[in-house]
């Protein structure tokens, strides 16, 4: 009986040891599995972060290329075509009206323009004051220049406020003068002249508000 009891105790101890090793092995395997999953998640997160960074860099590169392309096209337009649409300082043989423009820096610009002038001519007038450019002599009619401008603004993919970099408003009552090609002064309430305000447009398309002091009534 003592011998059998010794055998039974030894068998029980071996069973406990075997169960303990199996439990330890299972815990080790589970820990290793969690470590592999954690490492896989880390690698995947790093891959996604690298992909997002690559996409963002590509987006910035494309945006910069677009800005550069638009800037080059705008500069070329200023040199070659803008002067065909800008009202001359001394109009000849026309029925003029008096337009007063307050520029973003507070300066006033007074110009006599043809009564048949367009909103484009006002935008070109302000643009010429904000961004002077040495013109290149070319042969072009005003109607062709306006059509080219329409296509240029459209192809840029930008809003007209962002493309021009400024917006125009009547001084009183304050109303936006949105740029549209081939729109006459009479169509925006300036057929008999008037006073307008030019305001710089931020990159997000917001206007910088200014007060309307300093204008004489006409």
Query: Which of 164, 215, 163, 213 is CA-nearest to residue 193?
Result: 215
Q: What is the pLDDT of residue 213?
A: 41
Q: How does pLDDT run across 85-99, given as a tens digit for each residue?
A: 888 877 766 788 999
Averaged pLDDT, 165-173: 90
Question: What is the dihedral sign for C-alpha 185, 188, 189, 190?
Answer: negative
Report the distance separating Cα 56 and Cα 48, nearest Å: 12
pLDDT in the model for residue 49: 92
The answer, as to whether pTM is greater than 0.75, is no
**DSSP-based three-state secondary structure for 141:** coil
> What is d(CA 183, CA 148) in angstroms, rounded to the nearest whole number?
15
Residues 59-77 have a mean pLDDT of: 89
Contacts of 157 (CB under 8 A, 6+ apart): 66
> Which CATH number is 82-200 given?
3.10.20.90
Measured distance between the N- and C-terminal CA atoms of the chain, rounded to whole angstroms: 128
Q: Give me the residue spans of the domains in the chain.
A: 82-200
The token duo for 41 is 């998640």
Q: With 70 as the cut, is the pLDDT of residue 169 above it?
A: yes
Q: How confident is the model at residue 107 (pLDDT cuts 50, 70, 90)?
A: very high
Q: How sure is the predictor about 101, in pLDDT bands with cuts at 50, 70 and 90? A: very high
User: What DSSP line would sit under 170-185, residue for residue?
Assistant: ETTTTEEE---TT-BG
């Amino acid at each position: 009986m003592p011998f059998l009891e010794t055998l039974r105790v030894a068998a029980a101890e071996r069973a406990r040891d075997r169960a303990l090793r199996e439990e330890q092995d299972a815990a080790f395997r589970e820990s290793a599995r969690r470590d592999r999953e954690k490492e896989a998640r880390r690698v995947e997160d790093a891959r996604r972060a690298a992909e997002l960074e690559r996409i963002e860099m590509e987006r910035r590169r494309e945006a910069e290329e677009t800005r550069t392309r638009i800037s080059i096209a705008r500069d070329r337009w200023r040199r070659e075509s803008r002067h065909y649409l800008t009202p001359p300082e001394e109009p000849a043989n026309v029925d003029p009206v008096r337009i007063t423009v307050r520029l973003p820096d507070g300066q006033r610009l007074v110009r006599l323009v043809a009564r048949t002038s367009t909103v484009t001519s006002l935008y070109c007038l302000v643009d010429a004051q904000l961004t002077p450019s040495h013109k290149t002599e070319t042969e072009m009619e005003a109607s062709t220049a306006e059509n080219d401008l329409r296509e240029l603004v459209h192809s840029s993919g930008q809003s007209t406020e962002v493309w021009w970099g400024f917006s125009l408003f009547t001084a009183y009552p304050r109303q936006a003068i949105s740029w549209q090609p081939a729109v006459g002064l009479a169509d925006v309430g300036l057929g008999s002249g008037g006073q307008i305000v030019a305001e710089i447009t931020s990159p997000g398309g917001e206007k910088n508000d200014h007060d309307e002091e300093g204008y004489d009534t006409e």
